[in-house]
Chains A and B, each alone.
Chain A
């Protein structure tokens, strides 16, 4: 496919989308720390980046692995009827339980963002901030609820309110092999998302193409079935969602992913000795490689129905490698997107988009984690690059500072120092 006159402007739109998303979404859940009486670092390297145990906890529908959740809860849930009432039904209400404590967490974040390349003086330095509230509850072993809402200050001086995620996790088998997420979810097509990784977000490889506002992240409405098999070494994901960023409609997009992990903790968190690694002095440390691949097929309405609009059918495919090499985490990913008609002004033009990224995070100390990310996007032959470096410092397990610098090269080879950001995030 030949490069068109629309390629560069469209690529620029993607850059703008990246720049306005200053504030990362909340990705840590202090209410889980309260539930088990443990530190954030049981599940997070620096929040929201997950440890192998944190990943297993997530895959177990937010329960401790191997049926050991009840042993580690600090407070027994409030019984709403003894189990014996199951045999009294329908002459009594079916028994249930609710969490012992209100499972609410809050995360406050503030940033000072410098834009060295900005020509407008009052936009050279801006303040940004967000406040998030998460409700994360489990009901027995087969149901969990996750609701996250964030109020976010924008560079335009306005306030955005919205849900980051809101879903149920149903685990009828009480195990990691069959979790169904229903609601507003992030498609599980990669081994990393903005909710469980560090560095700038969104990722370039999850950005929109043309006038089709679809992006892999943030969340979409739909359902996803995921599970762990092959002795805890393989995982699959199947999902149907409505397609984010476009007009809300019935689910039209489907996706699937398979992945396998060699070395390190099993994906379901089960250890050979039946122990849960709660007190491991280096919970992130292991030697492991996870390799995954995915396909996503979608359909989006571009424009406004009734006026100027068209349907863009698109297909994404990609693969990623997530290697934990003792204290270093190396993530590499490639995605390819084929859009049939993403441009309103040139309905006949399709696009081929290649994205590639590499990120290295290194735990210098448990409280000090630098990160380096390089990303390239090529749309119909026109390429753009982004390099981001960040430094995360845990002042306390729940108090994090971060420094972030982003340099970008546009398709016209213009290099800009787009962001220099310092922030403070507190979860409680």
Chain B
């Protein structure tokens, strides 16, 4: 029951995280950006963060913390994108102790905790933060902190869709943990739907 509630929490957290800021702050006459990421090897088309850069405006982080789980000896989701300033709640739903630390940015180490316990951390600066567990060296996850809420993380089919982007011409960036990143220019129109396709390969 506790575990079930925790899963629901993760789902709700995700919904708030992805939809909340964008819906709350986006202009009513925004446009959409959709597309896909092709990758070589193809399996790396999943977990690619596609983000729109330098969108004017100030963006508040979501009121509720984003949840980042450790379950089945894995970080879940493997890649999570958040807007700068977001508070992330690190869970442990395994029956073994886990740790969270990163060698990136501020190089934090949140310590070690057991099942059902959690730790929180605010991410005030944008960047890519690898999440490692010093109890289980094979575990690895990524929290990608971005300047605005106009981003998406690709699914297994490599597709993505970002809604309510203010009209304008932007640089769109694709980031992958394994492959070299790529950028391209897109123009968003009010009520329109722009498309973008990225082809990523190893650096």
Interface readout for B119-141 with A: 1 if CB under 8 Å, 0 if not?
Answer: 00000000000101010011110
B7 CB within 8 Å of chain A = no
A79, A84, A85, A88 interface centre (most CB from chain B within 10 Å) = A84
Please tell me if B202 contacts chain A, counting CB pairs below 8 Å.
Answer: yes
Are A93 and B41 in touch, CB under 8 angstroms? Answer: no
Decide if B43 is an interface residue (CB 8 Å cutoff).
yes
B140 engages A83 (CB within 8 Å): yes
C-alpha gap A84/B41 in the complex (Å):
20
* Assembled-state Cα–Cα distance A83/B130 (Å): 10
- Whether B40 lies near A68 (C-beta < 8 A) is yes
B39 smallest CB distance to A (angstroms): 9
In the bound complex, do residue B138 and residue A82 qualify as a contact, i.e. CB atoms below 8 Å apart? yes
A172 at interface by CB-CB < 8 Å: no
Give the chain A neighbours of B41 by CB distance below 8 A. Answer: 67-71
Q: Is the CB of B138 within 8 A of A80?
A: yes
Residue in contact with A93 in the complex, picked from B42, B132, B137, CB distance below 8 Å: B137
CA of A147 to CA of B51 in the docked complex: distance in angstroms?
Answer: 48
Looking at the complex, which one of B43, B103, B132, B134 makes contact with A71 (CB distance below 8 Å)? B43
Compute how far the CA of A309 lies from the CA of B202 in the bound complex, rounded to whole angstroms: 56
A174 interface residue (CB < 8 Å to B): yes
Q: How far is B137's CA from A88's CA once the two chains are assembled, in angstroms? A: 11
Q: Is B201 part of the binding interface, using a Cβ–Cβ cutoff of 8 Å?
A: yes
Partner of B103, one of A69, A78, A79, A88: A88
Q: Is A87 within 8 A of B103, CB to CB?
A: yes
Within the assembled complex, what's the spacing in Å between the Cα atoms of A84 and B103?
Answer: 8
The digit string for B141-185, where 1 denotes a CB below 8 A from any CB of A, is 000000000000000000000000000000000000100000000
Selected contact of B137 from candidates A66, A70, A85, CB within 8 Å: A85
Within 31-84 of A, Cβ neighbours of B (below 8 Å) are at 66-71, 78-84
Assess A66 versus B103: contact at CB under 8 Å? Given A93-B137, A174-B202.
no
A92 within 8 A of B: yes
Measured in the bound complex, the distance between the Cα atoms of B202 and A88 in whole Å is 22
**Cβ–Cβ < 8 Å partners of A85 in chain B:** 132, 137
List, in ascending order, chain A residues with CB within 8 A of B40's CB: 66-68, 274
Report the bound CA distance from A66 to B202 in whole Å. Answer: 10
B201 touches A84 (CB 8 A): no
Report the bound CA distance from A84 to B107 in whole Å. 12
**Complex interface bits, A74-109 against B, C-beta within 8 A gives 1, otherwise 0:** 000011111111011000110100000000000000
A79 and B43 contact, Cβ closer than 8 Å, known pairs A67-B202, A84-B130: no
Which residues of chain B come closer than 8 Å to A93, judged between CB atoms? 137
Nearest Cβ distance between residue B61 and chain A, in whole angstroms?
Answer: 25
Distance from A230 Cβ to chain B, minimum over Cβ atoms (Å): 21
Contact A84 B42 (CB under 8 A): no
Known: A69-B41, A70-B43, A71-B43. A82 touches B137 (CB 8 A): yes
A210-249 with Cβ < 8 A to chain B: none
Report which residue of B42, B44, B132 has the largest number of chain A beta carbons within 10 angstroms of its beta carbon: B132
- Closest chain-A Cβ to B199's Cβ sits at a distance in Å of 10
B177 contacts which chain A residues (CB < 8 A)? 83
Mask: chain B, 100-113; 1 = CB below 8 Å from A; 0 = not: 00111000000000
Question: Which residue of the partner chain, among A71, A84, A92, A174, contacts B140 with CB atoms under 8 Å?
Answer: A84
Cβ < 8 Å to A, chain B residues 18-61: 40-44
Expressed in whole angstroms, the minimum distance between the Cβ of B121 and any Cβ of chain A is: 17
Contact A95 B137 (CB under 8 A): yes
Contact of A81 among B43, B44, B102, B137 (CB under 8 A): B137
B43 touches A92 (CB 8 A): no
Chain B 176-203, CB-CB to A under 8 Å as 1, else 0, gives 0100000000000000000000000110
Task: Please indicate the chain B residues that have their CB under 8 angstroms from the CB of A92 in the complex.
Answer: 134, 137
- Complex CA–CA separation, A71 to B202 (angstroms): 13
Q: Mark A169-202, 1 if CB is under 8 A from B, else 0.
A: 0000010000000000000000000000000000
Give A80 to B140 CA distance when docked, in angstroms: 12
Extra A-B contacts (12), CB below 8 Å, given A82-B138, A82-B140, A84-B132: A68-B40, A68-B42, A69-B41, A71-B42, A80-B137, A82-B137, A83-B177, A84-B130, A84-B140, A88-B103, A88-B132, A93-B137
In the complex, 27 of the A-B residue pairs with CB atoms within 8 angstroms, ordered by the A residue number, are A66-B40, A67-B40, A67-B201, A68-B41, A68-B42, A69-B41, A70-B44, A71-B42, A78-B138, A79-B138, A80-B137, A80-B138, A82-B130, A82-B137, A82-B138, A82-B139, A82-B140, A83-B140, A83-B177, A84-B102, A84-B103, A84-B140, A85-B137, A87-B130, A92-B137, A93-B137, A274-B40
In the A-B complex, the 5 residue pairs with the smallest Cβ-Cβ separation, listed nearest first, are A82-B140, A84-B130, A70-B41, A87-B103, A79-B138
